[in-house]
């Protein structure tokens, strides 16, 4: 992979150890785990080991981890499964949630549920005190992400989780997909009821994710028609994807602190570049995951990306959802950033394989490209 790949928020290259763990299940170990044979026994054991590794990463029990196809599915299940067939009809999200939470919430609102979208500060942070005030007797669910894939901002996770003590009958969900790669999330201590996780965010394979459902939490399945995942998420499981997810979680437990330290150094290089060129950074600088820098340039962002691509740089203009939806970013709008300014956004999410030299090379390309586009700007 090119050392100038800056799209790690959207897809990370699986680690070599992850690929090796998947290999036996791509051809030789292929039997259906619901059948009875020695091969099926090995498949069941592999899936269980993966489940245990994912659970260990977040301080959960293996039986509380349910494998799904993607983080989007996990978020959909968390919201829809919580509010369907419940007598209460009010739920709360933040204004900076991932598209899969934000649009699911809007869908549920159109179905008649009462939606409260919490505003954020200009730094992108939800006030836990205001969040507590938004909860009322009719509230069934609160869903606040741990960290944003778009602006990288980390919410006050401990304070939000602590609200569960005041509101024990309310379900608390967090999209922790970006958060857990570099930050600790201990669900034996934090009383979240539902947590979305994803393999690819941990340098595992795409196509598999998980929803943590705390033991005793009642939620409705999205899919029916089989007994996989204890009947909660039917469909033939992929042992290769599960093995890759499990290996990625196992590796993250031992390497995430080093990954974080290295990426914080890379991030400081990018902060220095932005400051030197007078380019604002969206969101909090301090409450931020290690691999995220969203720049708000004063030139056309798409032109910038096209010219950078000619130099081998792969980056994006923000969430991958927006160009195809032809919509302005609801996340940047929630921060009070004007639409004109969002059109110059450049999202950089470096990876753990990048060095100081790699970032310096990128900085040179970026400065040359920005200077050129500023010179020819109308």
In the chain the domains, ranked by start, together with CATH numbers, are: 16-251 (3.40.640.10), 256-376 (3.90.1150.10)
Q: How far apart are CA 367 and CA 276, in angstroms?
A: 10
Q: Which of 123-137, 204-218, 320-334, 335-349 has the lowest mean pLDDT?
A: 320-334
- Residue 1 has what pLDDT? 45
Taking the C-alpha atoms of residue 67 and residue 353, their distance in angstroms, rounded to an integer, is: 28
Backbone angles phi, psi at 155, to 5 degrees: -80, 170
Instruction: Decide if pLDDT at 34 tops 80.
Output: no
* pLDDT (mean) for 71-87: 92
Looking at residue 344, its pLDDT comes to: 92
Q: Is the pLDDT of residue 62 over 90?
A: yes
- End-to-end, the C-alpha distance of the chain in Å comes to 37
Q: How confident is the model at residue 2 (pLDDT cuts 50, 70, 90)?
A: low
Residues 177 and 223: beta-carbon distance below 8 Å: no
Identify the band that residue 136 occupies on the pLDDT scale cut at 50, 70 and 90: very high
Distance of CA 19 to the CA centre of its chain: 21
Q: Give one word for 284, left, alpha or beta, with left for phi > 0 and alpha for psi -120 to 50.
A: beta
| Cβ-count burial 219-247 (b if 16+ within 10 Å, e if not) | bebbeeeeebbeebbbeebbbbbbbbbbb
| Whole-number Å distance between alpha carbons of 13 and 337 | 32
Segments of 243-330 assigned E as strands:
293-296
pLDDT bracket for residue 158 (50, 70, 90):
very high
**pLDDT at residue 205 tops 90:** yes
- Catalytic residue, chosen from 157, 321, 370, 373, is 321
Annotated active-site residue 181? The verdict is no
Query: What is the percent of the chain where pLDDT is above 90?
Result: 84
């Amino acid at each position: 992979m090119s050392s100038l790949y800056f799209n790690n928020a959207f897809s990370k290259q699986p680690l070599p150890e992850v690929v090796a763990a998947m290999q036996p299940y791509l051809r030789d170990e292929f039997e259906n785990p619901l059948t009875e044979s020695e091969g099926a026994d090995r498949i069941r054991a592999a899936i269980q080991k993966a489940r245990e590794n994912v659970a260990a990463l977040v301080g959960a029990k293996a039986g509380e981890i349910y494998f799904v196809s993607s983080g989007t599915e996990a978020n959909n299940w968390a919201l829809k499964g919580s509010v369907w067939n419940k007598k209460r009809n009010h739920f709360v999200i933040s204004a900076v949630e991932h598209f899969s939470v934000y649009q699911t919430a809007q869908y549920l609102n159109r179905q008649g549920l009462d939606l409260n979208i919490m505003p954020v500060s200009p730094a992108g942070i939800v006030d836990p005190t205001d969040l507590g005030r938004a909860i009322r007797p009719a509230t069934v669910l609160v869903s606040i992400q741990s960290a944003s894939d778009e602006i990288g901002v980390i919410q006050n996770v401990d304070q939000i989780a602590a609200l569960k003590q005041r509101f024990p009958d309310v379900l608390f969900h967090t999209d922790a997909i970006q958060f857990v790669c570099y930050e600790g999330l201990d669900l034996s201590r934090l009383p979240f009821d539902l947590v979305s996780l994803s393999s690819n965010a941990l340098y595992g394979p795409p196509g598999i994710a998980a929803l943590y459902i705390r033991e005793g939490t009642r939620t409705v399945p999205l899919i029916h028609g089989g007994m996989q995942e204890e009947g909660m998420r039917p469909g033939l499981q992929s042992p290769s994807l599960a093995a890759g997810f499990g290996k990625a979680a196992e590796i993250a437990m031992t390497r995430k602190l080093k990954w974080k330290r290295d990426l914080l150094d890379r991030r400081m290089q990018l902060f220095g570049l932005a400051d030197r060129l007078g380019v604002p950074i969206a969101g909090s600088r301090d409450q931020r995951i290690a691999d995220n820098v969203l720049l708000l340039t004063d030139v056309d962002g798409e032109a910038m990306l096209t010219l950078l691509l000619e130099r081998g740089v792969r980056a994006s203009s923000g969430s991958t959802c927006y160009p195809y939806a032809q919509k302005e970013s609801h996340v940047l709008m929630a921060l009070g950033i004007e639409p004109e300014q969002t059109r110059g956004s450049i999202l950089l999410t470096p990876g753990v394989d990048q060095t100081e030299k790699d970032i310096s090379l990128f900085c040179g390309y970026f400065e040359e490209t920005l200077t050129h586009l500023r010179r020819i700007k109308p």
